[in-house]
Each structure stands twice: as C-alpha cells, then as structure tokens.
C-alpha cells in the first residue's frame, strides 16, 4: 500500500470516528415527568409535542406520569428520573413542597431543568432554567372578566384536582375576578362524580349563572350534565384547555369559550430548548408564555382538525 493510500485510509477512518462520536453526542436523553393522569386528553397533546420535538433533534424522550393525581408518586418519578442522570429534565411543577427538593437535587447534580404548565413563579428558587406555560391566576381572572362581559353576575369554579397548585391558582384568579361573588366546587377527577357534583350544587344555588371547569377532563361531564338537564342556554359555560370534544361543543354552541394554553408547545419547546442548551449553551432569556388565549364558537372550526391530530 502506498503512503497516499495509507493516508487516505487513516483520514477516512478518523472522519468516520468523528462522525460517530458527534452522532453519539447528539443523541440526548430527556425525561418528562408530569402530574397529568392518562385519561386527561390535555396531557396526551403535551406528550405528542415532546415526541415530535425529539424526532426533529434526534433526541430520546421518556414521558412519565402517575396513574392518578398523586404528588407522592410524582415525587418518586422525579427522583427516579434524576437518579437516571438524563441530559435534561422537564417537570410540571405542580406542588412546591413535594417537588422543590428533588428539582433542586437535579440542578445540584448538573441536570438542566425546565418546568412546564405549573409553578413558574417559584421554580427558579430550585434552580430551574426556564418555565413554559401561562400565568394560571391571571388566566382564571380573565375567565371571570369574560363571563362578566357576557352578563354573568355569580360564578362557579369546578376544581377536579384540589391541591394542584396550578388549578388552585386558576380558581383563585376566577374568584378574584368576580370580586368574591363566585365559589369553588371541589370534585374528584371521575367524570360521573364531576357531573353529579355540578348538578347537586346548581340545585342548591339557583343564582349561579356562570360555570368554569379547569380542564377537558371536567368540561365534558359538565357539558353532558347541562344537556341532560336541558339547561345549556341558562348558563355561560367556559373551560380551560382544548380537546376534540370541547371544540365540537364550542362549534355547536354548547360551550361559550375555552382557554387555550397551547399545551403542544409545553411539550415541544422544552425539548428543543434543552437540546440547544446541551449542545450549544443556548436558552431564551426569559420564561415563555403559551397562553392564555380564548377560543369561541367563531374560532372552533379552524382548530378542530389540529385537535384531532393531537396538536391543539
């Protein structure tokens, strides 16, 4: 073999080795831990967004969530994620007391953390680099103001996960927006329980004319209850978040508005940002607001197709 041939062979091998090393470095692993139960359509869209971003950047995403709303179980899931030493961690920071310590442990171990959906106002205390979501309190307050513009004088906030910081803040903002002329109804996340609780409450509180639910999981039982009672036209009905069923109700006039926080972006953006951070040390300079935005009957048809695709 000539010296030129030897040099070409060595160069080709070196280039292949460098390419293989670069490919290995690019294959980042990110863990997403949320509080959302599998039956909640909101969180399937978040998961879709995270997986789509992973496909774009060539990363691996592991999505984990408890089977019920359980902060102790979620804490265990975050603990396990930290112990696995991922390249980045994405967490819905639902409860500061339960999650603050484990998030701090992740950041102390050099794992970059981005919080999503809940807890943006406190997450940085524990080393989180960024929050992606919406101001839950302000969104609840805007929901109350929107209902008042539609003529509602007294409202009801249905909370299907009391103790969830984000949902509690939505109700707090709603009550503040009504200057206290509203109440909170705590339920479980079981659809039948939600439906029965709403009907029982309205039977005892005939002056309520506006009802706000805090997610698709609770909105659909509320809409069903109104239809069964023939009372849809008697109330102004609103909810947080979108699903195909909610958009259909909006389009048909069975729901007055939905508050969209673009949860697809809450899955998609943190994966993209963490990938850039790990590779290049790049991050946005501030938190990223994905909502709130109001979707009404006039807007519903435009987003139904995307919702059916798991994007809205």
Tell me the average pLDDT across 175-197. 94
SS3 (DSSP) at 91: strand
Which CATH number is associated with domain 28-134+262-281?
Answer: 3.40.50.2300
Q: If you write DSSP's letter for every residue of 6-44 in order, what string do you get?
A: HHHHHHHHHHHHHHHHHHHHH--EEEEE----TT-HHHH
Tell me the average pLDDT across 124-150. 95
CATH topology of domain 136-260: Rossmann fold (3.40.50)
| Phi and psi torsions of 122, nearest 5° | -125, -10
The pLDDT, as a whole number, for residue 132 is 97
- Give the gyration radius of the chain's Cα atoms: 23
Do 28-134+262-281 and 136-260 share a fold?
Answer: yes
Tokens 């696995």, residue located: 84
- The tokens for 249 are 């109700």
CA dihedral 132, 157, 220, 270 (to 10 degrees): 10
- The tokens for 67 are 């089977």
- pTM for the model stands at 0.78
The pLDDT, as a whole number, for residue 163 is 86
**Burial (Cβ within 10 Å: 0-12, 13-18, ≥19) of residue 228:** exposed
pLDDT over 60 at 10, yes or no: no
Residue pair 28/278 in contact (Cβ under 8 Å)? The answer is yes
pLDDT over 60 at 8, yes or no: no
Could you tell me the residue ranges of all domains in the chain? 28-134+262-281, 136-260
Which pLDDT tens digit goes with each residue over 259-306? Answer: 999 999 999 999 999 999 999 999 999 999 999 999 999 989 888 888
The pLDDT, as a whole number, for residue 11 is 45
The pLDDT, as a whole number, for residue 35 is 92
């Amino acid at each position: 073999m000539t010296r030129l041939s030897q040099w070409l062979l060595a160069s080709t091998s070196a280039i292949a080795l460098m390419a293989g090393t670069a490919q290995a470095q690019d294959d980042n692993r990110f863990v997403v831990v949320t509080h959302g139960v599998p039956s909640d359509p909101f969180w399937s869209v978040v998961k879709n967004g995270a997986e789509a971003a992973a496909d774009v950047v060539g990363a691996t995403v592991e999505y984990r969530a408890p089977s019920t709303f359980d902060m102790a179980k979620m804490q265990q899931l975050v603990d396990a994620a930290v112990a696995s030493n991922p390249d980045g961690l994405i967490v819905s920071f639902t409860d500061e007391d339960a999650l603050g310590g484990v998030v701090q442990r992740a950041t102390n171990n050099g794992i970059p953390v981005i919080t999503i959906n809940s807890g943006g106002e406190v997450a940085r205390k524990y080393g989180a680099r960024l929050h992606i979501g919406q101001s839950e309190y302000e969104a609840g307050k805007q929901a109350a103001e929107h209902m008042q513009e539609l003529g509602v004088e007294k409202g009801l906030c249905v909370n299907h996960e009391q103790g969830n910081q984000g949902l509690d803040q939505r109700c707090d903002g709603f009550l503040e927006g009504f200057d206290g002329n509203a109440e909170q109804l705590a339920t479980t996340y079981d659809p039948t329980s939600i439906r029965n609780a709403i009907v029982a409450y309205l039977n005892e509180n005939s002056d309520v004319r506006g009802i706000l639910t805090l997610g698709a999981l609770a909105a659909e039982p509320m809409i069903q209850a109104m239809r069964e009672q023939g009372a849809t036209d008697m109330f102004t009905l609103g909810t947080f978040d979108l699903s195909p069923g909610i958009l259909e109700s909006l389009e048909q006039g069975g729901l007055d508005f939905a508050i969209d926080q673009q949860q697809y972006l809450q899955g998609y953006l943190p994966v993209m940002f963490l990938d850039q951070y790990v590779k290049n040390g790049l991050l946005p300079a501030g938190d990223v607001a994905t909502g709130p935005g109001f979707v009404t009957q006039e807007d519903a048809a435009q987003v139904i197709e995307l919702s059916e695709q798991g994007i809205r």
